Structure formats: C-alpha cells, structure tokens
C-alpha cells in the first residue's frame, strides 16, 4: 500500500457538521520533509484534478494531502464580510489537518483555493509554514462577477482548443473538465454563489497579516493566465516580501504541465 496508485484510490473520509468529507493522503516510503504538502483545490477542482501533480510530488518524497469539498452549504458563520462558503472550505481544511494530526504544512493553493488556504491560515496560522499561491483568486483589483465569469468561460474554451491541438495534454485537460462539470452539476446555485464570493474577496490584508506572523508567501503566476491576470494585481508589487515567480502557460498549466510547477515548489520548500 506504499505505492501512489493504491493510496490515491483508497477512500478516506472525515465527518464534518454531519457530512462526509473525502480527502486524499498519500505518503511515500522515504520522505524528504516531515512537513506535508497540502494542495488547496480551486473552483471546480478536486484531488483528481491534481493527480499528476500529486504523483510527481509523491515521487519526489513529499507526503501530499488534498480535499474534495462538499456541494452543500453547511451554514457556518459568516465572518469579516467574507462569504461563509469560503470560510466553510477553510474550516474543512483545518478539520482535515486536525483529523490527521497535522501540526505544520506547506500549502500549494490554486485559483479559489488561495482564498480558502489564506483564510485557514488566518484562523490558525501556526499550522502553516509556507503558502504557495498559484494563479490565485482574491487578489484582482476592482473585480466584478460578470467580468470574472467572462474570463473563466474564455479559459474553458481555450482549454478545449488546447486539448484538441495538443494530444499529449488531452487526458489531463479532459480529466479537469470532467471534474469541473461534475462540481457544477452537483449544486449549480452554490457554484454561482462561490463565483460571486471569489469576485468580492480581496486577500491583501490577510497576506500582510500572515507575513507578520512569519509565514512565507510565494505567488506563481502564469504569464498567459486569463482568469486571474497578473496585470490586474498591481497592488501586490508594493508588497516586496512576496516571492513572485512567473512561468509560461495558462491557468490550467499546474495540472496540464505539472512538471514545471514541481521544480518551482521543490526549490521553494527544499533549501
């Protein structure tokens, strides 16, 4: 049971507010770090979306954890004018850590996952050592819901065209598309509310707070990312302590071309 596929397929669940929450936890035989990597999935994403990235990190000697968020509003309390749906996901992250007895993590958060991970660190900062935000939501200036939806639809179309033109990436892009489609269909109303919450959330004050708590913040941004374009995050240039890394590729490259991101993640986490 030490091989990746067996562990990835093993069903793992916790109980959270009366619901079953599925999560992934894969542990290699020889660890390069005692601190596990938590992958915070974005909107429409699940651990399956990041299967190839998780495998590469596992092969590199990292324990990797991720979670599949439920498609129900569990009616947690809204705090600090941020949607309870985002706090709900943050609370689920912390519940998984508590269940597994995790005392410190390195987090890789993609898209909306940046919001959930940063909120979780805001709630319980001692659990976070490094936070790597990849194509992060919650940092675009003057964001509007309709504008965000338009960019996301464009991203989906671009992904479909790329799957046709680049057969080597087809299976990864199709897998992601299927997960996103299932995610939306399981609760379309909630999906739209999540999109609205993403457009209304801004994390800059939270990042400053986490920096003050000695949590390292890194942002990896695709130069062709049209969902959360770097040119719409101009305020971040004033935060000199953020470690910016720019890569070629679009919003989906973290799972379409995960090998490019593994190198960046390893360089950040292994000194």
Look at phi and psi of residue 249 and say left if phi exceeds 0, alpha if psi is from -120 to 50, else beta: left
Task: Say what the pLDDT of residue 268 is.
Answer: 85
What average pLDDT does this structure show over 95-102?
A: 96
- For residue 135, what pLDDT band results from cuts at 50, 70 and 90? very high
- pLDDT for the residue numbered 79: 53
| Average pLDDT of the residues in 196-221 | 91
Local confidence band at 160 (pLDDT 50, 70, 90 cut-offs): confident
The candidate with the shortest Cα–Cα distance to 218, out of 257, 246, 251, 256, is: 246
Mean pLDDT calculated for residue range 99-104: 96
Q: pLDDT > 90: what percent of the chain?
A: 54
Give mean pLDDT, residues 166-171: 82
Residue 1 binned pLDDT confidence (cut-offs 50, 70, 90):
low
Provide the pLDDT for residue 14. 94
* Mean pLDDT across the chain: 89
- Model confidence at 80: pLDDT above 70: no
- pLDDT band for position 267 (50/70/90)? confident
Domains and CATH numbers, the chain: 4-269 (3.40.50.1820)
pLDDT over 70 percentage in the chain:
95
Among 68-77, 92-101, 148-157, the least confident range: 68-77
Most confident of 77-81, 107-111, 188-192: 107-111
Residue 270 has pLDDT above 80, yes or no: no
Structure tokens at 87: 């706090």
Residue 77, pLDDT > 70, answer: no
Predicted pLDDT of residue 82: 62
pLDDT at 191: 85
The stretch 29-49 carries a mean pLDDT of: 94
Specify whether the CB–CB gap between 52 and 172 falls below 8 A. Answer: yes
The Cα 16–Cα 4 span in angstroms is: 26
Q: Helix H segments across the chain?
A: 4-9, 51-59, 84-100, 113-123, 145-165, 167-186, 188-200, 204-212, 253-256, 258-269
Render 70-89 in DSSP notation, one character per residue. -SS---PPPBTTB-HHHHHH
- Report, as an integer, the average pLDDT of 127-132: 96
Q: pLDDT class for 70, splitting at 50, 70, 90? A: confident
**212-259 tens-digit pLDDT:** 999 999 999 999 999 998 888 877 777 889 998 989 889 989 998 999
- What pLDDT band is residue 184 in, cutting at 50, 70 and 90? confident
CA gap 23, 16 in Å, rounded:
12
């Amino acid at each position: 049971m030490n091989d990746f596929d067996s562990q990835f397929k093993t069903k793992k669940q916790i109980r959270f507010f009366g619901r079953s929450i599925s999560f992934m936890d894969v542990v290699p035989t020889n660890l390069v770090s005692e601190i596990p990597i938590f992958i915070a999935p974005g909107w429409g994403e699940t651990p399956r979306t990041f299967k190839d990235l998780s495998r590469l990190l596992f092969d590199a000697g990292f324990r990797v954890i991720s979670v599949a968020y439920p498609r129900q509003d569990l009616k947690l309390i809204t705090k600090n004018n941020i949607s309870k749906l985002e706090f709900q996901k943050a609370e689920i992250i912390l519940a998984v850590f508590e269940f597994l007895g995790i005392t410190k993590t390195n987090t890789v958060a993609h898209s909306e996952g940046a919001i959930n991970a940063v909120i979780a660190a805001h709630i319980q900062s001692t659990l976070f050592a490094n936070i790597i935000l990849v194509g992060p939501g919650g940092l675009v200036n003057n964001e509007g819901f309709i504008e965000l939806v338009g960019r996301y639809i464009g991203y989906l179309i671009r992904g479909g065209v790329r799957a046709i033109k680049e057969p080597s990436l087809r299976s990864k892009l199709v897998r992601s598309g299927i997960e996103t489609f299932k995610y939306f269909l399981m609760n379309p109303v909630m999906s739209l509310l999540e999109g609205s919450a993403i457009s209304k959330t801004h994390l800059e004050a939270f990042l400053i707070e986490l920096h003050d708590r000695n949590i390292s913040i890194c942002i990896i941004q695709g130069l062709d990312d049209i969902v959360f374009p770097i040119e719409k995050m101009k305020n971040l240039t004033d935060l000199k302590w953020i470690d910016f890394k720019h890569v070629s590729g679009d919003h989906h490259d973290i799972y379409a071309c995960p090998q490019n991101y593994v190198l960046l993640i390893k360089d950040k986490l292994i000194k």
